Amino acid sequence: MDWSISAGIFIIYILALFILVTPAFKQYTAQEYLGSIVKDGVKESLSLELKRFPFFLSVSVDSSFDVNTEKKFKTNNNLPSELLYLNIEDTQIGLFNESLSYEITEKDYYIINHNEIKFIGVPSSMGITSSEQHENQIVKLWIFLSGEEIFDLIAYGEASDAEFNHTFGISETISGIYQQKLDDFLITDYAAAKTNFNYPEDKDFVITIYEGTDLAAPPIFTFPLDLIPQEKDTVSTLVWSDWLITYDNTQGKMIQRNPITIVVRTW
Protein backbone atom coordinates (compact mmCIF):
# COMPACT_ATOMS: atom_id res chain seq x y z
CA MET A 1 0.00 0.00 0.00
CA ASP A 2 2.80 2.38 0.94
CA TRP A 3 4.58 1.77 -2.35
CA SER A 4 1.47 2.66 -4.38
CA ILE A 5 1.09 5.93 -2.48
CA SER A 6 4.75 6.71 -3.07
CA ALA A 7 4.41 5.89 -6.78
CA GLY A 8 1.36 8.14 -7.04
CA ILE A 9 3.18 11.02 -5.38
CA PHE A 10 6.15 10.53 -7.73
CA ILE A 11 3.89 10.62 -10.81
CA ILE A 12 2.20 13.79 -9.57
CA TYR A 13 5.67 15.33 -9.03
CA ILE A 14 6.78 14.49 -12.59
CA LEU A 15 3.58 15.94 -14.08
CA ALA A 16 3.97 19.11 -12.04
CA LEU A 17 7.58 19.42 -13.22
CA PHE A 18 6.51 19.25 -16.87
CA ILE A 19 3.76 21.80 -16.28
CA LEU A 20 6.19 24.25 -14.66
CA VAL A 21 9.20 23.77 -16.97
CA THR A 22 7.47 23.61 -20.38
CA PRO A 23 6.10 27.20 -20.38
CA ALA A 24 9.58 28.54 -19.55
CA PHE A 25 11.07 26.61 -22.49
CA LYS A 26 8.35 27.83 -24.82
CA GLN A 27 8.91 31.39 -23.65
CA TYR A 28 12.62 31.15 -24.45
CA THR A 29 11.94 29.94 -28.00
CA ALA A 30 8.90 32.17 -28.55
CA GLN A 31 8.87 34.55 -31.49
CA GLU A 32 10.03 37.59 -29.56
CA TYR A 33 13.14 35.77 -28.28
CA LEU A 34 14.36 34.33 -31.60
CA GLY A 35 16.11 37.53 -32.71
CA SER A 36 18.08 37.70 -29.46
CA ILE A 37 19.24 34.11 -29.95
CA VAL A 38 20.63 34.97 -33.39
CA LYS A 39 22.22 38.21 -32.13
CA ASP A 40 23.99 36.35 -29.34
CA GLY A 41 25.19 33.77 -31.87
CA VAL A 42 26.52 36.46 -34.22
CA LYS A 43 28.32 38.25 -31.40
CA GLU A 44 29.88 35.05 -30.09
CA SER A 45 30.85 33.48 -33.44
CA LEU A 46 31.71 36.40 -35.72
CA SER A 47 33.18 39.10 -33.47
CA LEU A 48 36.79 40.14 -32.95
CA GLU A 49 38.25 42.20 -30.11
CA LEU A 50 41.52 44.09 -30.46
CA LYS A 51 43.55 46.44 -28.31
CA ARG A 52 45.47 49.22 -30.00
CA PHE A 53 48.09 51.80 -29.01
CA PRO A 54 49.10 54.96 -30.87
CA PHE A 55 52.87 54.70 -31.42
CA PHE A 56 54.66 57.96 -32.23
CA LEU A 57 58.15 58.02 -33.76
CA SER A 58 60.37 61.09 -33.96
CA VAL A 59 62.81 60.14 -36.75
CA SER A 60 66.06 61.98 -37.34
CA VAL A 61 66.41 62.87 -41.05
CA ASP A 62 69.20 64.65 -42.97
CA SER A 63 70.67 64.71 -46.48
CA SER A 64 72.30 61.27 -46.03
CA PHE A 65 69.04 59.62 -44.97
CA ASP A 66 67.62 57.61 -47.89
CA VAL A 67 63.86 57.53 -47.36
CA ASN A 68 63.41 54.80 -50.01
CA THR A 69 65.71 52.25 -48.38
CA GLU A 70 64.62 49.93 -45.60
CA LYS A 71 65.61 51.01 -42.10
CA LYS A 72 65.69 49.11 -38.84
CA PHE A 73 63.61 50.57 -36.00
CA LYS A 74 64.21 49.24 -32.50
CA THR A 75 62.60 50.60 -29.35
CA ASN A 76 64.26 51.17 -26.01
CA ASN A 77 62.85 49.93 -22.72
CA ASN A 78 60.16 52.60 -22.59
CA LEU A 79 57.14 50.32 -23.19
CA PRO A 80 53.71 50.66 -21.57
CA SER A 81 52.90 48.04 -18.94
CA GLU A 82 50.34 46.37 -21.21
CA LEU A 83 53.18 45.53 -23.62
CA LEU A 84 55.88 45.06 -21.01
CA TYR A 85 53.92 42.29 -19.23
CA LEU A 86 52.27 40.89 -22.33
CA ASN A 87 51.56 37.16 -22.50
CA ILE A 88 53.39 36.65 -25.77
CA GLU A 89 52.28 33.02 -26.06
CA ASP A 90 48.61 33.96 -26.45
CA THR A 91 48.81 37.33 -28.19
CA GLN A 92 49.53 38.30 -31.78
CA ILE A 93 50.97 41.74 -32.48
CA GLY A 94 50.64 43.89 -35.60
CA LEU A 95 52.23 47.25 -36.35
CA PHE A 96 50.59 49.53 -38.90
CA ASN A 97 50.40 52.95 -40.42
CA GLU A 98 47.78 54.31 -42.80
CA SER A 99 49.36 52.91 -45.98
CA LEU A 100 51.46 49.86 -45.07
CA SER A 101 51.43 47.09 -42.52
CA TYR A 102 54.39 45.67 -40.66
CA GLU A 103 54.13 42.28 -39.01
CA ILE A 104 55.77 41.57 -35.67
CA THR A 105 53.90 38.37 -35.01
CA GLU A 106 56.88 36.13 -34.27
CA LYS A 107 57.10 37.23 -30.64
CA ASP A 108 60.48 35.79 -29.59
CA TYR A 109 62.05 37.34 -32.68
CA TYR A 110 60.42 40.73 -32.53
CA ILE A 111 59.95 41.22 -28.81
CA ILE A 112 63.05 40.48 -26.75
CA ASN A 113 62.66 39.90 -23.01
CA HIS A 114 59.29 41.67 -23.14
CA ASN A 115 60.96 45.09 -23.31
CA GLU A 116 61.84 45.71 -26.94
CA ILE A 117 60.02 45.98 -30.24
CA LYS A 118 61.92 45.99 -33.52
CA PHE A 119 60.75 46.15 -37.10
CA ILE A 120 61.93 47.11 -40.57
CA GLY A 121 60.16 49.70 -42.68
CA VAL A 122 60.70 51.89 -45.72
CA PRO A 123 60.64 55.48 -44.34
CA SER A 124 58.84 56.94 -47.38
CA SER A 125 55.97 54.44 -46.96
CA MET A 126 55.70 55.58 -43.36
CA GLY A 127 55.21 59.20 -44.41
CA ILE A 128 58.82 60.35 -43.95
CA THR A 129 60.12 62.73 -46.61
CA SER A 130 63.69 63.53 -47.67
CA SER A 131 65.39 66.64 -46.31
CA GLU A 132 68.63 68.49 -47.09
CA GLN A 133 68.86 69.77 -43.55
CA HIS A 134 68.73 67.86 -40.29
CA GLU A 135 65.24 67.66 -38.83
CA ASN A 136 63.05 65.38 -36.75
CA GLN A 137 59.91 64.13 -38.47
CA ILE A 138 56.96 62.74 -36.50
CA VAL A 139 55.32 59.50 -37.64
CA LYS A 140 52.18 57.98 -36.13
CA LEU A 141 51.83 54.21 -36.20
CA TRP A 142 49.42 51.82 -34.49
CA ILE A 143 50.23 48.72 -32.47
CA PHE A 144 47.43 46.16 -32.42
CA LEU A 145 47.13 43.23 -30.02
CA SER A 146 44.94 40.26 -30.92
CA GLY A 147 44.11 37.09 -29.04
CA GLU A 148 43.45 35.40 -32.40
CA GLU A 149 45.78 34.63 -35.31
CA ILE A 150 44.80 37.21 -37.93
CA PHE A 151 48.00 38.95 -39.09
CA ASP A 152 50.35 37.72 -41.83
CA LEU A 153 54.06 37.45 -41.12
CA ILE A 154 56.49 39.90 -42.74
CA ALA A 155 60.07 38.81 -42.19
CA TYR A 156 62.54 40.91 -40.21
CA GLY A 157 65.65 41.21 -42.41
CA GLU A 158 68.86 43.20 -42.41
CA ALA A 159 68.92 47.00 -42.67
CA SER A 160 70.77 50.00 -41.28
CA ASP A 161 69.55 51.52 -38.02
CA ALA A 162 67.31 54.58 -38.00
CA GLU A 163 67.80 57.15 -35.27
CA PHE A 164 64.53 57.92 -33.54
CA ASN A 165 62.74 58.51 -30.27
CA HIS A 166 59.30 57.12 -29.48
CA THR A 167 56.30 57.53 -27.22
CA PHE A 168 53.06 55.59 -26.77
CA GLY A 169 49.53 56.93 -26.52
CA ILE A 170 46.72 55.57 -24.36
CA SER A 171 45.43 52.15 -25.37
CA GLU A 172 41.84 51.45 -26.33
CA THR A 173 39.84 48.31 -27.02
CA ILE A 174 37.89 48.03 -30.27
CA SER A 175 35.51 45.26 -31.27
CA GLY A 176 33.18 44.39 -34.10
CA ILE A 177 32.24 41.78 -36.67
CA TYR A 178 35.41 40.46 -38.34
CA GLN A 179 35.23 40.33 -42.14
CA GLN A 180 37.15 37.05 -42.46
CA LYS A 181 34.82 35.30 -40.03
CA LEU A 182 31.88 36.70 -41.97
CA ASP A 183 33.28 35.33 -45.25
CA ASP A 184 33.81 31.91 -43.68
CA PHE A 185 30.32 31.94 -42.17
CA LEU A 186 28.79 32.60 -45.59
CA ILE A 187 29.72 29.09 -46.71
CA THR A 188 28.50 27.48 -43.48
CA ASP A 189 25.69 24.95 -43.71
CA TYR A 190 22.45 26.54 -42.51
CA ALA A 191 21.60 23.60 -40.24
CA ALA A 192 25.10 23.79 -38.72
CA ALA A 193 24.65 27.53 -38.13
CA LYS A 194 21.39 26.84 -36.28
CA THR A 195 23.15 24.32 -34.07
CA ASN A 196 26.04 26.71 -33.44
CA PHE A 197 23.62 29.47 -32.44
CA ASN A 198 21.46 27.10 -30.32
CA TYR A 199 18.57 28.14 -32.54
CA PRO A 200 15.37 26.01 -32.64
CA GLU A 201 15.40 23.51 -35.52
CA ASP A 202 11.78 24.21 -36.46
CA LYS A 203 12.33 27.99 -36.75
CA ASP A 204 14.14 30.05 -39.39
CA PHE A 205 16.21 33.23 -39.62
CA VAL A 206 17.92 35.46 -42.17
CA ILE A 207 20.83 37.80 -41.36
CA THR A 208 21.33 40.86 -43.56
CA ILE A 209 24.14 43.42 -43.15
CA TYR A 210 24.28 46.91 -44.66
CA GLU A 211 27.07 49.47 -44.87
CA GLY A 212 26.37 52.41 -42.58
CA THR A 213 22.71 53.04 -41.89
CA ASP A 214 21.28 53.03 -45.44
CA LEU A 215 18.90 50.07 -45.43
CA ALA A 216 17.68 51.00 -48.92
CA ALA A 217 21.11 50.20 -50.39
CA PRO A 218 22.04 46.68 -51.51
CA PRO A 219 23.25 44.61 -48.54
CA ILE A 220 26.88 43.55 -48.27
CA PHE A 221 25.99 40.24 -46.61
CA THR A 222 22.98 37.93 -46.51
CA PHE A 223 22.74 34.53 -44.85
CA PRO A 224 21.25 32.25 -45.93
CA LEU A 225 20.87 33.55 -49.46
CA ASP A 226 17.79 31.65 -50.64
CA LEU A 227 15.53 31.56 -47.60
CA ILE A 228 12.30 33.59 -47.82
CA PRO A 229 9.39 33.52 -45.32
CA GLN A 230 6.01 32.38 -46.59
CA GLU A 231 2.74 34.31 -46.29
CA LYS A 232 1.64 32.11 -43.38
CA ASP A 233 4.79 32.95 -41.37
CA THR A 234 4.85 35.63 -38.70
CA VAL A 235 8.12 37.50 -39.14
CA SER A 236 9.87 39.48 -36.39
CA THR A 237 12.77 41.85 -37.03
CA LEU A 238 15.69 42.83 -34.81
CA VAL A 239 18.01 45.66 -35.90
CA TRP A 240 21.24 46.90 -34.31
CA SER A 241 24.31 48.95 -35.21
CA ASP A 242 27.79 47.45 -35.09
CA TRP A 243 31.28 47.74 -36.59
CA LEU A 244 32.88 45.74 -39.41
CA ILE A 245 36.60 45.10 -38.86
CA THR A 246 38.67 44.37 -41.97
CA TYR A 247 42.31 43.55 -42.52
CA ASP A 248 43.81 42.92 -45.98
CA ASN A 249 47.58 42.77 -45.92
CA THR A 250 47.75 41.89 -49.62
CA GLN A 251 46.76 45.46 -50.44
CA GLY A 252 48.93 47.07 -47.77
CA LYS A 253 45.99 48.17 -45.65
CA MET A 254 45.92 48.50 -41.91
CA ILE A 255 43.08 47.41 -39.66
CA GLN A 256 39.94 49.23 -40.76
CA ARG A 257 36.69 49.64 -38.81
CA ASN A 258 33.51 50.84 -40.51
CA PRO A 259 29.93 51.20 -39.23
CA ILE A 260 27.33 48.65 -40.30
CA THR A 261 23.69 47.86 -39.59
CA ILE A 262 22.66 44.27 -38.93
CA VAL A 263 19.07 43.17 -39.59
CA VAL A 264 17.84 39.79 -38.35
CA ARG A 265 14.47 38.44 -39.45
CA THR A 266 13.07 35.43 -37.62
CA TRP A 267 9.95 33.29 -38.04
Listed by start position, the domains of the chain span 32-47+176-266, 50-174
Q: How many percent of the chain have pLDDT more than 70?
A: 75
Paired residues of 246 in beta bridges: 256
Mean pLDDT along residues 122-137: 82
Spatial contact of 199 and 205, defined as CB atoms under 8 Å apart: yes
- Confidence check: pLDDT of 213 > 60: yes
Model confidence over 39-69: pLDDT tens digits? 999 999 999 999 988 888 888 888 888 888 8
Spatial contact of 88 and 114, defined as CB atoms under 8 Å apart: yes
- Confidence check: pLDDT of 179 > 90: yes
Q: What pLDDT does residue 237 have?
A: 95
Mean pLDDT along residues 114-137: 78
- Confidence check: pLDDT of 173 > 70: yes
- Confidence check: pLDDT of 165 > 90: no
Q: Give the best-scoring range by mean pLDDT among 7-21, 25-39, 73-87, 202-216.
A: 202-216
pTM higher than the cut 0.95:
no
Paired residues of 178 in beta bridges: 245
Neighbour count for residue 192 (Cβ, 10 Å):
9
In this structure, the strands spanning 101-103 and 118-121 are: unpaired
- Confidence check: pLDDT of 1 > 70: no
How far is the C-alpha of 67 from the C-alpha of 62, rounded, in Å? Answer: 10
